């Protein structure tokens, strides 16, 4: 619902034609049922699949079949839905994702390399009661954006000077596995006089070396997350730009940087860092990361169990650090008008279909361990939080096997890497942090699955795991 015409007219006739645009927009935000949901996740955590599946199920929610725990839908109060994304300059490629999942053999959507947006309109019948005074029907507009997870990790850089950033990176590169993987690159830094005259090609060479180091750290066996600057890994339209010839100084930090030659590497890097923050990170933040009302934080816990303790610690630090970039707190009516804050956060462990149903509770618990610090900070701000294991798109089905006369819960599906059909017992998810020897013992080997074909017609509850509970928690009170 946009600002009612009558009220808009009143505002214009009231002798206050110069009301600041921001205030007018704030009024509009307050009056309309518009929700901006932040879908936050590191790279490969499952954002694109989540957004595709969420949108697809919600667009069918007027048929009320696939989301039994989403109360407004199961009560039959969603009376119509519409995808309004085509109005955006960068629409989310929903149809493309769905087509890939509906073809034979189906495939997962391509990983996100740029920013895209989706806006859904859900028309619903209000619950009997006071709200009906505002009319029997209303519309909720839901806005979501998808973006590469790598870019998200740049947001914390906005609060750091070049020197602070370098010191932070120095601490990270002091321990395993970064220290070993970066030994070569670090030794190059020993030889550099940062304050002496230097050419741009010197900086480019070192930046190129750093870029390939980041790529290596992102891939198995390391699977690290806290890799900055993120655009070095996913440059999009900045590919080839000198803004990306950037890396931290972690050895030989100059004692008197004020004596740096204007062409020195120190001056070049400091300038590149400031330009990167102001021209790349800040616009991304200001255009897309403010004014959220609700948030879902997607976490791939099983990846950390497969990859080991260093990956777990790194992901935990990355999540805690980047959540500081969002505004949390109590959302009073006035606050919602002028400076909305996130007042409800769902932490979701994705890909719950990689484990058997009896392990979902353990996955909830393990997620809780990972986001403990972030959750504690949010609770202090009176933010409602919850942990939930879910699967946006269920790729496996339950099976039973007999071993030594005992029934064993198994999963059946197709391997993502080979397409081969397998039935396996994926193992248990620990509810406490594994001991050092367990991390290193190859105890956890959760397999990635290819998607099962999605029907072209109506969806059913079996196409996801607990997606409806996530929707009910995040949006249910708004209907």
Question: Could you give the C-alpha distances from 105 to 99, 131, 210, 451, 461, in angstroms and in order?
Answer: 11, 47, 38, 9, 21
- Could you list the residues that contact ligand GDP (CB under 6 A)? 41, 43-49, 108-109, 111-112, 149, 350-351, 353-354, 391-393, 395, 416, 448-449
Nearer to ligand GDP, 34 or 463 (CB): 463
Least Å distance, CB 29 to ligand GDP, is: 28
SS3 string, the chain, reads CCCCHHHHHHHHHCCCCCCCHHHHHHHHHHHCCEEEEEEEECCCCCHHHHHHHHHHHHHCHHHCCCCCCCHHHHCCCEEEEEECHHHCCCECCHHHHHHHHHCCCCCCCCCCCCCEEEEEEEEEECCCCHHHHHCCEEEEEEEEEECCHHHHCCHHHHHCCHHHHHHHHHHHCCCCCHHHHCHHHHHHHHCCCCCCCCCHHHHHHHHHHHHHHHHHHHCCCCCCCCCCCHHHCCCHHHCCCHHHCCCCCCCCCCCCHHHCCCCCHHHHHHHHHHHHHHHHHHHHHHHHCCCCCEEEEEECHHHHHHHCHHHHHHHHHHHHHHHCCCCECCCCHHHHHHCCCECEEEEEECCHHHCCHHHHHHHHHHHHHHCHHHHHHHHHCCCEEEEEECECCCCCEEEEEEECCEEEEEEEEEECCCCCEEEECCCCCCCCCCCHHHHCCCCCCCCCECCCCCCCCCCCHHHCECHHHHHHHHHHHHC
CB of 40 to ligand GDP, least distance (A): 10
What minimum distance in Å lies between the beta carbon of 57 and ligand GDP?
A: 12
CB of 113 to ligand GDP, least distance (A): 10
Q: Which is nearer to ligand GDP, 46 or 235 (CB)?
A: 46
Residue 58's φ and ψ, nearest 5 degrees, are -65, -35
Q: Based on CB atoms, which residue is closest to ligand GDP, 85 or 331?
A: 85
Q: Which is nearer to ligand GDP, 123 or 218 (CB)?
A: 218
- Min separation Cβ 116 and ligand GDP, Å: 11
Of 200 and 397, the one with the shorter C-beta distance to ligand GDP is 397
Q: Looking at beta carbons only, is 142 or 393 nearer to ligand GDP?
A: 393
Q: Which is nearer to ligand GDP, 49 or 140 (CB)?
A: 49
Nearer to ligand GDP, 166 or 345 (CB): 345
As measured in angstroms, the least distance from the Cβ of 448 to ligand GDP is 5
Least distance (Å) between residue 396 CB and ligand GDP: 7
Q: How far is the CB of 38 from ligand GDP (least distance, A)?
A: 13
C-beta of 83 vs 300, nearer to ligand GDP: 300
Min separation Cβ 69 and ligand GDP, Å: 17
Q: Report how far residue 144's alpha carbon sits from residue 146's, in angstroms, rounded to the nearest whole number.
A: 7
Minimal distance in Å, beta carbon 371 to ligand GDP? 16
CB closer to ligand GDP, 42 vs 122: 42
Q: Based on CB atoms, which residue is closest to ligand GDP, 48 or 304?
A: 48
CB of 148 to ligand GDP, least distance (A): 7
CB atoms inside a 10 Å sphere around CB 163 = 14
Is the Cα torsion angle 363, 36, 149, 354 positive or negative in sign? positive
């Amino acid at each position: 619902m946009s600002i009612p015409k009558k009220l808009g007219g009143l505002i214009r006739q009231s002798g206050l034609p110069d009301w600041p645009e921001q205030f007018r927009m704030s009024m509009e935000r307050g009056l309309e049922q518009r929700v901006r949901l932040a879908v936050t996740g590191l790279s490969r955590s499952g954002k694109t699949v989540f957004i595709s599946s969420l949108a697809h199920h919600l667009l069918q929610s007027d048929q009320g079949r696939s989301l039994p725990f989403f109360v407004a839908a199961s009560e039959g109060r969603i009376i119509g839905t519409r995808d309004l994304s085509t109005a955006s300059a960068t629409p989310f490629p929903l149809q493309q994702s769905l087509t890939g999942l509906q073809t034979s053999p189906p495939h997962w959507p391509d990983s996100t390399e740029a920013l895209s947006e989706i806006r859904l309109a859900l028309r619903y019948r209000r619950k009997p009661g006071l709200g009906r005074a505002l009319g029997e029907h209303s519309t909720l507009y839901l806005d979501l954006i998808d973006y590469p997870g790598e870019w998200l990790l740049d947001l914390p850089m906005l609060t750091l000077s070049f020197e602070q950033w370098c010191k932070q990176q120095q601490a990270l590169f002091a321990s395993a596995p970064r220290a070993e993987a970066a030994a070569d690159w670090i030794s190059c830094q020993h030889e550099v006089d940062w304050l002496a005259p230097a050419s741009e090609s010197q900086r480019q060479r070192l930046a190129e070396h750093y870029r390939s180091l980041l790529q290596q750290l992102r891939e198995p066996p390391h699977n690290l997350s806290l890799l900055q600057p993120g655009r070095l890994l996913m440059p999009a339209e900045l590919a080839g730009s000198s803004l990306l010839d950037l890396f931290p100084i972690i050895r030989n930090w100059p004692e008197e940087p004020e004596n740096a030659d204007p062409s020195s590497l120190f001056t070049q890097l400091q300038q590149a860092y400031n330009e990167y923050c102001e021209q790349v990170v800040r616009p991304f933040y200001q255009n897309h990361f403010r004014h959220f009302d609700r948030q879902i934080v997607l976490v791939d816990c099983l990846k950390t169990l497969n990859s080991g303790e260093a990956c777990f610690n790194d992901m935990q630090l990355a999540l805690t650090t980047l959540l500081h970039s969002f505004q949390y707190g109590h959302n009073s009516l006035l606050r919602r008008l002028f400076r909305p804050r996130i007042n409800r956060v769902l932490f979701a462990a994705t890909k719950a279909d990689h484990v058997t149903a009896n392990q979902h509770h353990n996955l909830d618990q393990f997620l809780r361990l990972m986001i403990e610090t972030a959750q504690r900070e949010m609770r202090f701000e009176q933010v409602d939080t919850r942990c939930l294991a879910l699967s946006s798109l269920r790729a496996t089905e339950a099976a039973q096997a007999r071993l030594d006369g005992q029934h064993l819960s198994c999963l059946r599906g197709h391997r993502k890497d080979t397409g081969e059909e397998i039935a396996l017992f994926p193992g248990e998810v620990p509810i406490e942090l594994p001991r050092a020897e367990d991390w290193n013992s190859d105890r956890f080997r959760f397999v990635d699955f290819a998607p099962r074909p999605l029907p072209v017609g109506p969806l059913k509850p079996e196409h996801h795991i607990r997606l409806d509970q996530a929707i009910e928690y995040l949006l249910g009170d708004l209907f």
